[in-house]
Amino acid sequence: RDFNERCAQCSEVNWGLTDGGRFYCRSCHNVTERTTEVVNTDFVCNSRIHTICKGLKNQEKTDGSCEWYVCEGFQLILKKQAEALEALGVCPQMKDEVLCNFWRRYLQKTKQAYCNTSAGETVKALPVCDSSTDVDSEPERPSPLQLLSLSESEGNLQTDSSFASSISKVSESTSVCSGSVDGSLYLMKNRKEKLRMTMPMTLSFCYMALLWLREPMTLSDLLRFVVEGHIPYLNVFQDFPEKMKLYGLDLKIFRVESWPVYEEVHNKMLELAAFLDLPRFPDITDSCFLHPDMLCMKYLMEANLPDELHNWTCRVVKKIRIGEVDFLTLVPGNKSTRNVKYDVLAAAVIVVVLKLLFLLDDHYEWLLSDFAEGRNKNNKEGGPYFEFEKWYKVIKCSLDMKQKKLDEERAKYLWRCEKVLFYSDKMKSKVLKRRQTVVNLQNQFGKLSGSVLPAEKPNPSSFQLSWSEENTDGSCFHGHSLKGVLQEKCGLLTAKNPDYWLCTVKLCNEKTCGHRAHYREVDFPQSYHFVIRLFSFLLRIQPSYIHDEVCVIEHKLFNKKLCKKPKYNTGLGK
């Protein structure tokens, strides 16, 4: 009350005291370096003081460890992930200006921090049986977890005394141990909560920040960088400070034994954005990397397809109006707008264009290929015509090799981390002895079999498949012409192919079965399945998700003719 200086950030005079004695602004959460030694007894009238909490930095145990909370662990993970993304070239403001604000808002919404929860509400929210304990009843008080940016060293959060004492009583009374103060309570309390913090949700936070900044990184790129080890995710808890002991139930929270799933991370991001009451995200315009025209160009290059196809993808995007700002921009909580998966949408547009030009029915595309092959042999002038069959063989060879390498790497991946983990102190000696035995056996068998050193982590790249027009073997098709499949009508180039087959006549209700259409390989031509498989590999997602998007685009493209004929004129040349 005696500290009347204005806040350096917001110029308000609305100060509170952290548990460590530092002043913080209740308006903007700015923490100053000023401290106070004065104890005001007005704050503890009609109550008894049982403990004095000096913050986590000073709460060291006899074994050198300190008390820490689950949200501190997740905050450290988010900090390391943000730093890794910055190292990959993401905007430097992502960590402290975007991701940190999202994280603070989440802590406030879940009433873990930055909230004015009364002491009575804090105890009520925790399953504490001892009701005789008197706690501070200050009407307006600091948040249970004190203020911090993701840049602070070691990500330490300080807790106020009433919250810490309540948590400690729960942890002491439970029969299951954990390294964190609230590990067991976290699992019990949040079992039924949809948005309790999990490891996949850390990636949802990162993707939400990337989308807010309109960074040139799709969700499929983000998850691929995670799998390749460029972004901390698997066994990231090994980088926790030594004082943060992790064992017991903490392992169920922070240990990961599966690869992140695209659909799960995407859906949680949408739920988070709505839960946090975020405003409309910045507009996705035609100059943004996430616009379908931009992404189609990228995937056409990576799939080694002719550059001329980009004109056709742009025409499809324009015709069905999926390149408009209102369609592409995320509006959290608005159920009337469609939530766009930008990378899947672009891949599906390319698949639809290939069907428009080549039909992909295991017959027509080979006829066109034979025609182009004969023309290329007899006429050496001008650019070569695109041969679908030759492209198929080149891509299949490269795709099979890449897929085999990926499958082998995943099969050989050791989920066991270098840091020894144990579920209780009693098991520690046994686990250490067992680990040493395993390491010794591995070393012995490695010497006998001549084990190969593990492959080095690949350099991060936006492209998994790269093709150069300088290659003399003709394996690059970027400059090849589509004249063999096009004809001119009324001054416009249209496809020679007048027909089109639909993947499905009627779309399913996504809320009922989770898909707009069902996909089985045996039900579709092999050419179509090959193209779907190619983009499934590039995006590292299930083929059914791309097939779903293809079906949705087709129904937008032919919405006026669906009930008339089994085959439809493309209409793009009119």
For residue 65, the one-letter residue type is: S
Nearest 5 degrees, angle CA 169-CA 174-CA 177? 105
Q: How far, in Å, CA of 430 to CA of 409, rounded?
A: 31
Residue 322: the pLDDT is 95
Contact of 156 with 150, CB cutoff 8 Å:
no
DSSP secondary structure, 62-77, as one string: TTS-B---HHHHHHHH
pLDDT at 465: 87
224 CB-near residues (< 8 Å, 6+ apart): 464, 540
Burial class from Cβ neighbours inside 10 Å (0-12, 13-18, 19+) for residue 349 reads buried
Q: Where do the H-state alpha helices sit in 228-328?
A: 250-254, 262-275, 292-302, 309-319, 325-328
Residue with tokens 């299949």: 396
Each residue's pLDDT tens digit, 11-52: 788 888 776 677 778 777 677 766 665 444 444 444 433 333
Beta partners for residue 486, in sequence order? 495
Q: Is 145 helix (H, G, I), strand (E, B) or coil?
A: strand
Q: According to the model, what pLDDT value does residue 164 have?
A: 43
Both tokens of residue 478?
């970027």
Res 493: pLDDT:
83
Sign of CA dihedral 353, 356, 361, 364: negative
Distances (CA, A) of 164 to 17, 27, 154, 434: 16, 24, 19, 36
Return mean pLDDT, the chain. 78
Q: What is the pLDDT of residues 493-534, one digit of tens each?
A: 888 888 899 888 888 776 666 677 888 888 899 999 999 999
Question: Scanning the structure block, which residue is given the tokens 């141990």?
Answer: 177
**Tokens standing for 168?**
């400690």
Side chain identity at 343, as an amino acid letter? D
Question: Which residues of the chain fall below pLDDT 70?
Answer: 1-2, 19-20, 29, 33-65, 116-177, 189-194, 416-433, 435-436, 438-440, 442-443, 445-458, 470-474, 510-514, 560-574
Task: Please tell me whether the overall predicted TM-score, pTM, comes out greater than 0.85 for this model.
Answer: no
Helix (H, G, I), strand (E, B) or coil at 237: helix
List, in sequence order, every residue forming a beta bridge with 567; answer none if it has no partner.
501
Residues pairing with 24 in the sheet = 16, 31
DSSP class of 236: G
How do the domains of the chain map onto residue ranges? 1-36, 69-109+195-278, 287-410+473-563
Rounded CA separation 253/239 (Å): 15
Is residue 276 within 8 Å of 332, Cβ to Cβ?
A: yes
- pLDDT in the model for residue 253: 87
Cα-Cα-Cα-Cα torsion 306, 308, 314, 320, nearest 10 degrees, comes to -80
CA distances from 1 to 20, 141, 178, 299, 531 (A): 17, 13, 40, 61, 69
For 466, other C-beta atoms within 10 Å of its C-beta total 11
pLDDT computed for residue 277 by the predictor: 94
pLDDT for the residue 218? 96
The whole-number pLDDT of residue 60 equals 54
> Percentage helix, strand, coil, to 5, in the chain?
45, 5, 50
